[in-house]
Amino acid sequence: MIKNILLLATLFAGGIVYAQKLPQPSPIGKEEQIIGLTTVKVEYSRPSARGRQVFGDLVAYGKVWRTGANLNTTIEFDAPVVFEGQMVEAGRYSLFTIPNAEAWVVILNKNTELWGEGDRKPEEDVLQFKVRPAKCEMTETFTIGFAEVKDDKAFLELRWENTLVRVKLEADATEQALANIKEAMAQPEIKPSTYHRCARYCVDKGLMLPEALEWAEKAVSMDKKYWTLYTLALCQAANGKTKEAIATANESMELARKEEDASYVKMNKERIDEWMRKK
C-alpha cells in the first residue's frame, strides 16, 4: 500500500463521495522541546525552495510573512517564557515574521485561527522584536527547530535557503524545581538517585549548598559510584571544603578509569587542577 496516496470513500446524502488524500507540496511539520520544565510546541507548513530564490523574491522583504506556508505557524508554551528578552504568558500564539536583509522582525499574535498573514490584526500582536539573520548551509525545505538546549535556555531556529534566524528562549524552572525537591525530600523513603539528582541540580545552580552537600553525602553512602562521588566533590568545593573535594575527586577519577569512562576522568582532572590552584 502506498502510504502517502490513498483513495478514501465516504457515504454522503445517500451516495458515494470520493475524497483524495495526496502528498502536499508544503507538508505539516511539528516540533516539541522541553526547555527547563516548560514544553514548547511548534506547528507549521514546510515549503521547499525548488530552485527558486527565496528571501527577497519568493518571500518578499519588508512584508509580513506567515513563517511557513498554508495555515499560520503557531508556537505554544505551557508555562511563561522569556522570548528574546520579553516575557510571554503561557498559551498558543501565531508566529509571524518580516524578513529583511539586515534584520528580521519577529511577531507573536494571539489569534491562532488565521490563514496566512492576510488576516492578521496588528492590535492582536502580543510582542514584536528584531533579530539579525545569519548565513548558514543550504537548507532546501523551510525548517524550524531548537538548538543549544541547556538548563532552562535554548534557541528557536528558523532555517531556509542560506538564511538562519535565531531567537533566544528562556524558561526559568528554578522555582518549580525547588518545589519538586522539597516534595521529594518529604517522602518517607528516598532513593540514592533522588539525593544525587537534587544535590547536582542545587550545586550547579549555586542554591541550597549546605543541603546539597548533605544529599550528596547520603547518595554516596547509599550507592558509591564515580558519578555520585563527582557530585559530592563539587558540593564539598562549593561549601569551602577544598581539601576534601580534591580527595573525593581523586577517588571518583580512579573509579572512572576502572570503568573506562574517559569523560569523567577528564572532568575530575580539570576540577582537581582548578581546586589545587586555589589552595
CB count, 10 Å around CB of 200? 21
Do 261 and 143 fall within a single domain? no
Domain end: 170, 197, 226, which one?
170
94 part of a folded domain: yes
* pLDDT for 23: 67
Counting the structural domains of the chain, the total is: 2
73 part of a folded domain: yes
162 part of a folded domain: yes
Do 46 and 89 fall within a single domain? yes
The helix/strand count (H/E) of the chain reads as 6, 12
For residue range 90-118, list pLDDT tens digits in order: 999 999 999 999 999 999 999 998 887 88
Do 92 and 112 fall within a single domain? yes
Do 46 and 163 fall within a single domain? yes
Report the alpha-carbon distance of residue 274 to residue 272 in Å, rounded: 5
Do 115 and 248 fall within a single domain? no
Residue 205 burial by Cβ neighbours in a 10 Å radius (0-12, 13-18, 19+): middle
* pLDDT for 26: 78
Do 158 and 36 fall within a single domain? yes
* pLDDT for 20: 58
Domain end: 106, 135, 170, which one?
170
269 part of a folded domain: yes
For residue 199, the enclosing domain spans 174-278
Do 59 and 102 fall within a single domain? yes
Specify the length of the chain in residues.
279
For residue range 51-63, list pLDDT tens digits in order: 999 999 999 999 9
Q: Which residues of the chain have pLDDT under 70?
A: 1-23, 279
Do 127 and 51 fall within a single domain? yes
Do 183 and 165 fall within a single domain? no
* pLDDT for 22: 60
All cell numbers assigned to 73: 505557524
* pLDDT for 37: 92
Do 108 and 226 fall within a single domain? no
Dihedral of the alpha carbons of 19, 22, 24, 29, in degrees to the nearest 10: 90
Do 85 and 210 fall within a single domain? no
17 part of a folded domain: no
Domain end: 118, 149, 170, which one?
170
Report the alpha-carbon distance of residue 49 to residue 62 in Å, rounded: 19
